[in-house]
């Protein structure tokens, strides 16, 4: 991946940020609880507390200055939405919604997608399973794009069931 493209992953505690990071980087490492910002190649993995506690929003805002894309993760097994409505509009970065844990028996993918549509005004939403490697390549390719229009074109021309454009 070109060094100029960097992505920050944000989401609730246990949403699958570290597991997704490992999948995106092709690493087979067991995910552990993230205690601080972790920088890996083109990815910044953030602690879930940064998203769940508004006192940490300044940390997210500062870190966003270092990246080109922000990935908003919604765990398909968790009905609670932790992002405020329209949260992505606070960042001048390309937004990508990511539904995690879509392979779980408890997953409600439709609910997770509708929740992400409230967070991201416009942009792609990718349905993923890190364990089945679903949606992973789509995220890698989206992060290489430079505009919302390019991401929309990618979503419209990609025949994957794992990607929609909101």
pLDDT at 2: 46
- On whether residue 84 sits in a domain, the answer given is yes
The token pair at 29 is 């490492």
Residue 2 lies in a domain: no
What is the tens place of the pLDDT at every residue in 59-87?
999 999 999 999 999 999 999 999 999 99
The DSSP bridge partners found for residue 8 are 44, 70
30 versus 153: which is more confidently predicted? 153
CATH number at residue 112: 3.40.50.300
Distance of CA 139 to the CA centre of its chain: 8
Q: What is the pTM of this model?
A: 0.93
Mean pLDDT within 132-148: 96
**Mean pLDDT of all residues in the chain?**
92
3-state DSSP percent of the chain in helix, strand and coil, to 5:
35, 20, 45
Which position has the token pair 């609910």?
Answer: 111
SS3 139: helix
Q: Tell whether the model's pLDDT for residue 3 goes beyond 90.
A: no
Whether the pLDDT of residue 1 is over 90: the answer is no
Range of the domain at 26: 7-165
Classify residue 1: in a domain, yes or no: no
- What total number of domains does the chain contain? 1
């Amino acid at each position: 991946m070109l060094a100029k493209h960097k992505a920050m992953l944000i989401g609730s505690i246990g949403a699958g940020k570290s597991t997704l990071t490992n999948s995106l980087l092709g690493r087979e490492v067991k995910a552990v609880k993230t205690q601080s910002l972790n920088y890996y190649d083109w990815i910044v993995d953030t602690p879930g507390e940064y998203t769940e506690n508004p006192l940490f929003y300044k940390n997210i805002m500062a870190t966003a200055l270092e990246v080109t894309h922000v990935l908003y993760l919604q765990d398909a097994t968790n009905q609670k939405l932790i992002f405020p409505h329209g949260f992505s509009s606070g960042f001048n970065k390309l937004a990508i919604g990511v539904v995690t844990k879509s392979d779980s028996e408890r997953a409600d993918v439709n609910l997770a997608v509708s929740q992400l549509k409230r967070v991201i005004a416009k942009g792609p939403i990718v349905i993923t399973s890190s364990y089945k490697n679903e949606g992973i390549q789509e995220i890698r390719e989206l992060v290489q794009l430079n505009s919302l229009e390019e991401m929309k074109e990618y979503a419209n021309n990609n025949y994957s069931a794992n990607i929609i454009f909101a």
